[in-house]
Amino acid sequence: MEDGSGPDERGCLLEAKGISKSFGGNSTGSPVVEVVSGFSLRLEPGKLVTMFGPNGCGKTTILNILAGILEPDSGEVIVQSRDPDSLPIGYVFQNHADSLLPWRTVQDNIAFPLEIRRLPLADQDARVHRRMDQFRLTEHAGKYVYELSGGLKQLVAIARATVYDPKLLILDEPFSALDYSLSRMLWIRFREFWANQNVTTIFVSHNIDEAVFLGDRVIVLSACPAKVVADIGVPFGHERSLALLSSTEFFSTRNRVLQAFEEGRRG
Amino acid sequence: MRKSATVWLPAALLAGWSIGSGTKLFDPLFLPAPWAVAESLFSGLWHGTFLRDWFATVARSLSGFALASVVGIPLGLLVGRIPALSRATQPTIDFFRSIPATALFPLFLFFFGLGDAAKVAIVIYACSLIVLVNTAYGALQVKVTRILSARVMGARQRDVFWKIIIPESAPGIFAGMRIALSLSFVLIVVTEMFIGTNVGLGYQIMNAQMVYRIPDMYAGIALAGFTGYLANVSLLRIEARLLHWVGK
C-alpha cells in the first residue's frame, strides 16, 4: 500500500476506519440511500491527498465526517493528536458564495478565524498580510468579496482556511466552477503555497488532471456508495509546473487513475 | 435623469391641485389652494405651535420606534433561529398582527392612562410585532454553510451569533425597521387625535379641523407627510450604506 516505510513509523495524523453513512429513511419518508460504504483512509502528516471520483455521491459526506461535522453511522475517525478535540481544521467549501462573509472585505474575511481566536491585532494583521501576499490578493485587500471573480473568491476562501495554520486542510472541489485555464493557474498557485506550507491536505476533485497534478497520492472512489477503489502514489516531486501536464510520467499516472476510475464506475 | 423622474409626479400633483384651486373647481372648505396651505405652514412654523407639535410627535414616534426595535429584534432573532419556538408562537403572532392597533385604544387607555405612555405603548405593540416578524424572516435566511464553516474554523456560539447571524439577518431587521418607522409615526399622529393631549401634529390637525381652520389642517398633514418621507429616505440611505452587499 505504502512505498517501503510502514505507516506507523511515518506517523498518522488522522485515520478513518470503515466509515459508512446513509441518508433518508425513517422520518423523512424517502428511501434509505447509502452514500459511503466502508471507507478507510490513513493520512500521514505533510501529504496532499486528492480524492477523485464520480460526481454527486459521497465525497462531501466523507469530508464532513472527517471534519467532524457529521457523525458516521458506523466506523470511526481517529485523530492522532495530543489533544484530539482540538485538531485545527481548515475547510474550503465547494460553494464560496455561501461560506465567505459578503459584508466583509477580503482582508477582514481572511482575518475572521484569527479574530475568533482573539489573537492580538498586530498578529492578525501580520498573518493576514502574509497570506494575502502568498495568494497575490494584496491588491484586493480592501475590496468586498462580491467585487471579485470566482477564482479570486476561492483563493480568499483558501487563504482564510489556512491563515490560522490548521493541522489538516480540507478542500471540496474548490476550483470546480472555474474554466480550465483559470483552474490551471490556481493549481500552480495552490501547489506553490502548499509546497511552502506542507500542511496535511485532503483535496476532493472531479477533474482527473487536477487530482493527479496536485496530489502526492490519489484516492479513487467508486460511484454510490463511495468506497476506495484504488490508492495511487504520484511520483512527482514538490515543485510542479504546467509542463508536467504534457509529460509522459503524468500520462502514465493519469492512465492508472483513469483505469481505476472506470473499474469503480462499473462497480 | 433619475432626479427629474422623482420630481415629476409631485410636480404634476401640485400643478393639478393649483389648477383645481385656481379655477375654483375645488371647494376651499374641503381642499384649500396650495398657496393658502403653504402660507399656513410657514406662519405655523414661524409664529405658531407647529415646531412644538412636530417635536412632540417626532419624540413620541421615535421613542416608540426605538423601544419596539429593542423588543422586536431580539425576539425575532430567537424565533427565527429556534424552529420549535417559531412553530409554537406563529399562530399567536399572526393573530395579534392582524388586529389593527387602533382598535385596541380602550385597552391601552385602561392600562396606561391618557398620557404619552398609552400612545408609545400602542406603537411598541404594533411595531415590535412587525420588527419581530421581519427579523425572524431575516434570521431564517442565514446560510447553513456559513455557520458550519465558522464552526469548523473554531467559532464559538457567541461569535457565530454576533459575527454571522446578526449581519446576515440585517436585511430582514432593516426591512422591519423601515415599515415600523413609518407606522410609528402614523400611529402617533392618530393617537394624538384621539387620546388626550394638547401638543402634537395629530392634535393640531384635529383641532384645526374642528374649528374649520382648513389650511392649518392641511399644513399639519403636509408636515406629517414631509416628516415621514424624510425619515424613510434617511433610513434607506443608512441601509444602502450598511447593506451594500445584499444580493451580490
A43-78 residue pLDDT tens:
888 889 999 988 777 888 899 998 888 888 988 888
- The 10s digit of each residue's pLDDT in B36-47 is 999 999 999 998
- A69, A83, A93, A103, best to mutate vs chain B, most B CBs in 10 Å: A103
Q: Is residue B16 part of a domain?
A: no
A142 neighbors A105 (Cβ within 8 angstroms): yes
DSSP codes joined into one string, A46-105: T-EEEEE--TTSSHHHHHHHHTTSS--SEEEEEE-SSSGGG--EEEE-S-GGGTS-TTSB
User: Which residues in A147-164 are b (16+ Cβ under 10 Å) and which e?
Assistant: ebeebbbbbbbbbbbbbb
**Within-domain flag for B132:** yes
Q: CB distance from A101 to chain B under 8 Å?
A: yes
Residues A109-164: pLDDT tens digits?
A: 999 999 999 999 999 999 999 999 999 999 999 999 999 988 899 999 999 999 99
Residue of B142, B153, B158, B246 for testing the chain A interface, max A β-carbons within 10 Å? B153
Helix (H) or strand (E) holding B72: helix B50-81
Tell me if B208 is assigned to some domain: yes
**Average pLDDT for chain A:** 86
Domain assignment of residue B33, yes or no: no
Amino acid B61: pLDDT: 96
Separation of alpha carbons A203 and A50, rounded Å: 5
Question: How far is it, in rounded angstroms, from Cα A65 to Cα A83?
Answer: 18
Which of A52, A153, A64, A173 has the alpha carbon at shortest distance from A109?
A153
Cα–Cα separations (whole angstroms), residue B160 to A218, B59, B144, B145, B146: 35, 35, 11, 12, 9
Please give the helix or strand (H or E) that residue A230 lies within, else none: strand A228-233
Q: Dump pLDDT digits (tens) for A87-116.
A: 889 999 988 778 999 999 999 999 999 999
ipTM: 0.83
Domain of residue B156, CATH code:
1.10.3720.10
Contact B33, B21 (CB under 8 A): yes
Q: So what's the pLDDT on residue A1?
A: 38
A chain contacts of residue B144, beta-carbon cutoff 8 Å: 98
Q: Does A149 touch chain B (CB under 8 A)?
A: no
Q: Which residues of chain B have pLDDT under 50?
A: 1
Confidence of residue A2 (pLDDT cuts 50, 70, 90): very low
A171 vs A214: CA distance, rounded Å: 12
Is B192 inside any structural domain? yes
Residue B148 phi, psi dihedral angles, 5° rounding: -60, -45
Per-residue DSSP letter, B115: S
Provide the grid cell at B88.
Answer: 409554537
The CA distance from A65 to A58, in Å, is: 10
Number of domains in chain B: 1
Q: Which residue in the set A91, A103, A112 is minimally distant from B245, CB to CB?
A: A103
Closest residue on chain A to B152 (Cα): A89
Asked whether residue A172 carries a pLDDT value surpassing 60, the answer given is yes
Asked whether the predicted pLDDT for residue A9 surpasses 50, the reply is: no
How far does A235 lie from chain B, in Å, by closest CA? 32
Residue with cell 428511501: A31
Lowest mean pLDDT among A77-86, A193-202, A230-239, B1-10: A77-86
* Interchain contact A142–B (C-beta under 8 A): no
Q: Which domain holds residue B146?
A: 41-242
Query: Would you state the pLDDT for residue A227?
Result: 82
Count CB-CB contacts under 10 A for residue A242: 11
Query: What pLDDT sits at residue A5?
Result: 37
**B219 domain-assigned:** yes
Looking at this protein, which amino acid is placed at residue B211?
V
How many residues comprise chain A? 267
C-beta atoms of A116 and B150 within 8 A = yes
Question: What size, in residues, is chain B?
Answer: 248
Domain boundaries, chain A: 100-166
- All residues of chain A having their beta carbon less than 8 Å from the beta carbon of residue B150 are 112, 116
Average pLDDT on A23-32 reads: 77
The answer to whether residue A247 neighbours chain B at the CB level (below 8 Å) is: no
A71 interfacial to chain B (CB closer than 8 Å): no
Q: According to the model, what pLDDT value does residue B3 have?
A: 64
pLDDT at position A241 is: 84
Question: In which band, very low, low, confident or very high, does the pLDDT at A197 lie, cut at 50, 70 and 90?
Answer: confident
User: In chain B, what are the helix, strand and coil shares in percent, each to the nearest 5?
Assistant: 85, 0, 15
State the pTM of this model. Answer: 0.84
A110: its cell numbers: 481572511
H-only helix segments in B141-213 = 144-152, 157-159, 166-194, 201-210
Please give the Cα distance from A51 to A202 (Å, whole number). 7
